[in-house]
Chain A
Amino acid sequence: MKTETIKFGKNLVTTKEFLAEGHSFCTGCGEVLAARLAFKALGGNVVVASATGCIEICTTPLPYTSWRVPWLHTLFENTAAEISGVEAGLKILMKKGRIPEREIKCIAIAGDGATSDIGLQALSGAFERGHDFLYLCFDNEAYMNTGIQRSSSTPYGASTTTAPPGKFSIGQISRKKNMALIAAAHDIPYVATACPSYRFDLMKKVRKGAEVKGPAYVHIYSPCPTGWRYSTNLTVEIGQLAVQTGIFPLYEIENGRYRLNADPPSLRPIEGYLRMQGRYRHLASEEIEKIQQMVNEDYARLKEKVAAFPA
């Protein structure tokens, strides 16, 4: 089993903060941790289009802003279309000599609802047209900003306010939509999954996604203590467990070739991960067994792809 080593060094990371302190994210938020790292990796030469969601609401109450990079928000479902306009605009203005020629990375950021539900069409269009942009999906597995309603990214069995468990339901009855593979199906040059518990891996992937020419997609696991109902000091640990149990594997798809970035010799049982979170508290042991089966199958299928199309 090959496990990629992730090098550490203080000089690898800038001390500059592009997403400034003073925002109003919840204590222990995994999303802002990931976003902060992502923008450290990207640096200042960016234009950011941001979907409606926690990130937008927690960083920009007029007349304040936490952004030290050019930042744009208009609506919920249109971020990929908006960044298409930004990219096309910058490119043509440089071509016509109306602004100085330079490299400016076009970055779109959005939550799982804005990506896998309401914004999927716009994202698919932007991928297909081949704009040079990086799309970061911060996946906290439900509509957290509006109060923990289910999305198509909510995992099977999780309790949310619009898919609550009850006499006739176990909560979320559908399986989590696999956005990374949907992105990969557009034959874009770079797709990756990342988790802020593995910070250097995350930063490396974000940088890679920005450097690649054409569309790139990084799907970022973003633990949410408020919505998942766990103690705020456990965010990093939950992220580690998600990777070590295989429910959120870290991988890259570069030009159609797969690479597993962390492949533990054996997966830890899913029960420990589920039992840490209030959203799974109602699950009986047979449901947990069913989820274990799903994780095993999904992980095995991923490894088959890695074996069949290795990077």
Chain B
Amino acid sequence: MSKRVALEASHAVAEAARMADVDVIAAYPITPQTHIPERLAEMVANGELSSAYIPVESEHSAMSACLGAVSVGARTFTTTAGQGLELMHEVVYVASSMRYPVVMVVCNRALSAPLSVWGDHSDVMAVRDTGWIQVFCQTNQEAFDLTIWAFRVGEDLNVLLPVMVNIDGFSLSHVTEAMMLPEQSEVDRFLPKFQYPFALNPDKPMSHGAFGPPEIYSEAKLAQEVAFRKSKETILQGWKEFGDIFGRYYHPVEQYRTEGAEILLLTMGSFTETAKIEIDRRKDEGEAIGLISLRLWRPFPFKELHQAVKGAKVVIVLDRCVSSGMGGPVLSEVRSALYNEEPMPRVVGIIGGLGGRDMTEKDFEYVIDRGKEIAENGTEKIIETVGIRGERDVGIER
């Protein structure tokens, strides 16, 4: 029987790693991720968790130590945020290319400069092309559930890929709320032990990480991409099995009150809950509106997104990151994913919530109103924003 508890999201993640009986943790502290490694170090110190905790000297070494640990068959966990994810950037690529199923929780944080320890999605957007399975959480429950699920999917022998679980820095990582904590036996039923078939072992010597000359690199990358796309079957299967055991079902694109919606707001992460308040208000007033949220960011859920926007005339995307010289990265991808689909809704985007700037229901009211205007009349602005002071409509050629 699950029990209802109040946990901070960071501690929920640490509980998930503990219940997954993780073998090796290598982590470097960075705000707002610190509560996760602190709690894990405490668990190891007092014997709640039998795990090697490697207090590495940088995030680059955190991910590198994780690779070493997986290479010998250990279940491996790390966690970081913002600058830390950027420092480990090159190793992040290697994890997926070597097919090492590391699980990493990222407490999403803005990037310097100016220095900001607060939340946005700049860090994860910079690693979106690294070949990791990437999911976003809205609540503490999801942070717990998806961390458990990440081990199950990443370590599946049909997948063998790293998984990144994104939780918003502070606005989720530091929030305490009620959630259901399952029994260990239920977790064990869902999550088998990691059986890595290629573990380095003197009895059967293997070479991991040989270099790829031009005659072989392209084939290696294509094979990786095929495996990555195929992982979606296991991702969906994993969510189904998770739901059957724990009663909570997850989907690549989550939908909220989308019945009959002509206008769809698209969000990612913890701001979705605030957006729902504004959607409820409008829905109750009879507006044909709904909300969709990308749970699965990579591999990109083309099919589910297309199905979710069927019947909609406008999709308004909220981005918490600026892709310089381009606009919002989620806007670009959503528009591109829908471009060849019939009928193609108008896809417009607004940027907000950068570097810990809060977004209230009022801000979402503006996002939806302005989004509808842009969809109708277009915009002269270089980028559309919400809640940001200063002149941006400066007549620069688009």
Chain A residues engaging chain B, CB cutoff 8 angstroms: 44-47, 49, 56-57, 60-65, 67-75, 77-78, 80-93, 95-96, 98-99, 104, 121-122, 124-125, 128-129
Known: A72-B200, A75-B91, A92-B50. Is A84-B56 also a contact (CB below 8 A)? yes
Known: A62-B211, A70-B205, A75-B90. Is A88-B52 also a contact (CB below 8 A)? yes
Q: Considering the complex, give the chain A residue whose CB is closest to the CB of B26.
A: A85
Which of B94, B205, B206, B212 is the most central at the interface, judged by chain A CB atoms within 10 Å of its CB? B205
Q: Which residue in A60, A92, A125 is a CB contact (below 8 Å) of B207?
A: A60
CB atoms of B94 and A74 under 8 A apart: yes
Cα of A64 to Cα of B201 in the assembled complex, Å: 19
Closest chain-B Cβ to A16's Cβ sits at a distance in Å of: 12
Within 8 A of A (CB), among B155-199: 193, 199
CB atoms of A72 and B61 under 8 A apart: no
Cα of A44 to Cα of B201 in the assembled complex, Å: 10
Report A-chain residues with C-beta under 8 Å of the C-beta of B40. none
User: 15 A-B residue contacts at CB 8 Å?
Assistant: A44-B202, A60-B210, A61-B213, A72-B67, A72-B208, A82-B64, A83-B68, A85-B71, A88-B74, A89-B52, A90-B72, A93-B23, A98-B23, A125-B56, A129-B54
CB atoms of A63 and B68 under 8 A apart: no
CB of B231 closer than 8 Å to a CB of A: no
CB atoms of B69 and A88 under 8 A apart: yes
Cα of A298 to Cα of B208 in the assembled complex, Å: 41
CB of B332 closer than 8 Å to a CB of A: no
Cα of A104 to Cα of B73 in the assembled complex, Å: 14
CB of B314 closer than 8 Å to a CB of A: no
Q: Given A90-B72, A98-B73, output 5 extra A-B contacts at Cβ < 8 Å.
A: A74-B67, A75-B90, A85-B71, A86-B68, A122-B58
Within 8 A of A (CB), among B48-95: 50-52, 54-58, 60-62, 64-74, 76, 90-91, 94
Cα of A125 to Cα of B55 in the assembled complex, Å: 9
Cα of A95 to Cα of B61 in the assembled complex, Å: 24
CB atoms of B50 and A63 under 8 A apart: no
Cα of A252 to Cα of B5 in the assembled complex, Å: 58
CB atoms of A64 and B210 under 8 A apart: yes
Report A-chain residues with C-beta under 8 Å of the C-beta of B201. 70, 99
Report A-chain residues with C-beta under 8 Å of the C-beta of B213. 61-62
Known: A67-B205, A68-B205, A70-B206. Is A92-B52 also a contact (CB below 8 A)? yes
| Chain B interface residue count, Cβ-Cβ cutoff 8 angstroms | 46
Which of A71, A78, A85, A93 is the most central at the interface, judged by chain B CB atoms within 10 Å of its CB? A85
Q: Considering the complex, give the chain A residue whose CB is closest to the CB of B72.
A: A89
Closest chain-A Cβ to B162's Cβ sits at a distance in Å of: 13
Cα of A125 to Cα of B65 in the assembled complex, Å: 11
Cα of A68 to Cα of B203 in the assembled complex, Å: 10
Within 8 A of A (CB), among B13-66: 23-24, 26, 50-52, 54-58, 60-62, 64-66
Closest chain-A Cβ to B23's Cβ sits at a distance in Å of: 5
CB of B277 closer than 8 Å to a CB of A: no
Known: A88-B52, A92-B52. Is A82-B73 also a contact (CB below 8 A)? no
Report B-chain residues with C-beta under 8 Å of the C-beta of A49. 68
CB atoms of B65 and A85 under 8 A apart: yes
Known: A44-B202, A78-B91, A89-B24. Is A84-B65 also a contact (CB below 8 A)? yes
Closest chain-B Cβ to A254's Cβ sits at a distance in Å of: 26
Which of B68, B69, B71, B73 is the most central at the interface, judged by chain A CB atoms within 10 Å of its CB? B68
Report A-chain residues with C-beta under 8 Å of the C-beta of B54. 84-85, 88, 129
Closest chain-B Cβ to A121's Cβ sits at a distance in Å of: 6
Cα of A49 to Cα of B69 in the assembled complex, Å: 11
Q: Which residue in B55, B64, B71 is a CB contact (below 8 Å) of A122?
A: B64
CB of B220 closer than 8 Å to a CB of A: yes
CB atoms of B202 and A125 under 8 A apart: no
Known: A68-B205, A69-B202. Is A56-B211 also a contact (CB below 8 A)? yes
Report B-chain residues with C-beta under 8 Å of the C-beta of A90. 72
CB atoms of A122 and B210 under 8 A apart: no
CB atoms of A93 and B209 under 8 A apart: no
Nearest 9 interchain pairs by C-beta: A85-B68, A125-B57, A78-B64, A81-B61, A85-B65, A81-B64, A89-B74, A60-B210, A89-B69
Q: Which residue in A65, A98, A129 is a CB contact (below 8 Å) of B210?
A: A65
Known: A75-B64, A85-B66, A125-B61. Is A61-B73 also a contact (CB below 8 A)? no
Q: Which residue in B24, B56, B74, B212 is a CB contact (below 8 Å) of A62?
A: B212
CB atoms of A72 and B209 under 8 A apart: yes
CB atoms of A89 and B211 under 8 A apart: no
Closest chain-A Cβ to B29's Cβ sits at a distance in Å of: 14
Q: Which residue in B56, B98, B211 is a CB contact (below 8 Å) of A57?
A: B211
Q: Considering the complex, give the chain A residue whose CB is closest to the CB of B199.
A: A99
Report B-chain residues with C-beta under 8 Å of the C-beta of A56. 211
CB atoms of A85 and B216 under 8 A apart: no
Q: B89-108, CB under 8 A of A: which get 1 and which 0?
A: 01100100010000000000
Report A-chain residues with C-beta under 8 Å of the C-beta of B62. 81
CB atoms of B98 and A74 under 8 A apart: yes
Report A-chain residues with C-beta under 8 Å of the C-beta of B220. 62
Cα of A74 to Cα of B61 in the assembled complex, Å: 12
Closest chain-A Cβ to B100's Cβ sits at a distance in Å of: 9
CB atoms of A71 and B208 under 8 A apart: yes
CB atoms of A84 and B74 under 8 A apart: no
Closest chain-B Cβ to A21's Cβ sits at a distance in Å of: 16
CB atoms of B68 and A81 under 8 A apart: yes
Report A-chain residues with C-beta under 8 Å of the C-beta of B207. 60, 65, 67, 70-73
Q: Which residue in B50, B68, B208, B210 is a CB contact (below 8 Å) of A84?
A: B68
CB atoms of A71 and B57 under 8 A apart: no
Report B-chain residues with C-beta under 8 Å of the C-beta of A65. 207, 210
